[in-house]
Amino acid sequence: MIATVKIVKDYPDTKIVEDFIGEVYSNHFDLKQEILHAKRGNSKTFGARVGAMLKVLAITYNSTWHPNCTYVRFAYNFNLMKEDVLMQFVMFLKQEYSKPIFFLLDNRYSLLIKVLQKHEFSLIRETEILHIYPLKSLMEIDFLPNKRTVHEIKGDPKILSSLIELTKKIYTDTHRANPVADLSRTSWELAIMEGMLEKNSYVIVQGFIVLAYSFLYKVNDESWELGWIGVRDMKNITELDKLLQFQLKDAVKHGIRFIEKEADTTCPYSQHVKNSLVYSVDERFYSYLG
């Protein structure tokens, strides 16, 4: 028997919302934090009720970087949820918004993934969160005469401009299914440079042109994050391996236990460097758009 679902827009009671999220995600602290974070700022809260019982919450919000869709976070009890309740809620949200709606999910949302697959949502990207082990991945390092640190080149406007232009192009090319906003050069520079380990982030430069880059960011005293990576010409993609070896050497020197990397299936650079690294897969995420 299909449940009768009543959707409540702009769910009014913040305490009920937060209590519900805390209850259904009591054993999933990461999901609780993510949805509460999404609830801040310019977001909307929807509730799906069956009878008097609140069954599902949805937080919808917009992204400055990806403005062509509406982002959605769901909260519900994984053990008690029914497929038809999720289906009715998803179809309501599709009708509510003119833009496509976007879900980023892991395997805990298996029932929601099943619903999305049945209702013409596209899997646009899979993402593995890698934990790269520096000492086990370290190999002999070739001399690179054109290698420089970001710290060394950031004061040169021409080289920095080339770096920002290339980083923007590669990020845009690898996110075509969910297009990137037309942001200012300053916005790109701030996003790239924020939190960067400038003396451990490397570029290959020819004249004033950046040919390859690999950026590291500090997470904590035991781990770093490998962020933006890329090359100007795919024929030279092995240059990334060389830059990474210098970064692995730096990580070993600083006692870093692992380097985290988001490896998207839409990013050939991330997929390539996996071949030369020793790592474990910490998490997997699935991006659906419909």
Alpha-carbon distance 256 to 248, whole Å? Answer: 9
The reported pLDDT for the residue numbered 144 is 86
Gap between the Cα atoms of 61 and 45, Å rounded: 9
Question: How far is the C-alpha of 276 from the C-alpha of 259, rounded, in Å?
Answer: 14
Q: What percent of the chain shows pLDDT beyond 90?
A: 89
| Contact criterion met (CB below 8 Å) for 248 and 134 | yes
Domains of the chain: 5-120 (3.40.630.30), 130-289 (3.40.630.30)
Is the distance from CB of 261 to CB of 103 less than 8 angstroms? no
In tens, the pLDDT along 151-202 reads 999 999 999 999 999 999 999 999 999 999 999 999 999 999 999 999 999 9
Q: What region, left, alpha or beta, does residue 246 occupy, with left being phi > 0 and alpha being psi -120 to 50 degrees?
A: alpha
- Measured CA to CA in angstroms, residue 3 lies from 53, 87, 139, 171, 260 at distances of 12, 11, 59, 43, 43
- What is the pLDDT at residue 222? 97
pLDDT of 131? 98
The confidence score (pLDDT) of residue 10 equals 83
Region 109-128: what's the mean pLDDT? Answer: 97
Q: Is 12 helix (H, G, I), strand (E, B) or coil?
A: coil
Tell me what the pLDDT averaged over the chain comes to.
Answer: 95
Instruction: Compute the average pLDDT of residues 253-273.
Output: 97
Classify residue 59 as left (phi > 0), alpha (psi -120 to 50) or beta: beta
The continuous run of DSSP H or E covering 159 comes out as: helix 157-173
pLDDT at 12: 72
Q: What is the DSSP letter of 275?
A: G
Confirm whether pTM is higher than 0.85. Answer: yes
Mean pLDDT of the 260-267 span: 97
What is residue 232's DSSP assignment? S
**Coil, strand or helix at 33:** helix
Task: Report residue 15's pLDDT band, with 50, 70 and 90 as the boundaries.
Answer: confident
**Binning pLDDT at 50, 70 and 90, where does residue 142 land?**
confident
User: Strands, E, within 96-221: which ranges?
Assistant: 101-105, 122-132, 147-149, 202-206, 209-218
Lowest mean pLDDT among 139-143, 184-188, 228-232: 139-143
pLDDT tens profile 84-117: 999 999 999 999 999 999 999 999 999 999 999 9
In terms of C-beta distances under 8 Å and separation of at least 24 residues, what long-range contacts does 107-111 make, across chains too?
Answer: 107/284, 108/28, 108/31, 108/78, 109/74, 109/78, 111/78, 111/81, 111/83, 111/86
Q: E-assigned strands of the chain? A: 5-8, 43-50, 53-61, 70-76, 101-105, 122-132, 147-149, 202-206, 209-218, 223-231, 258-264, 279-289
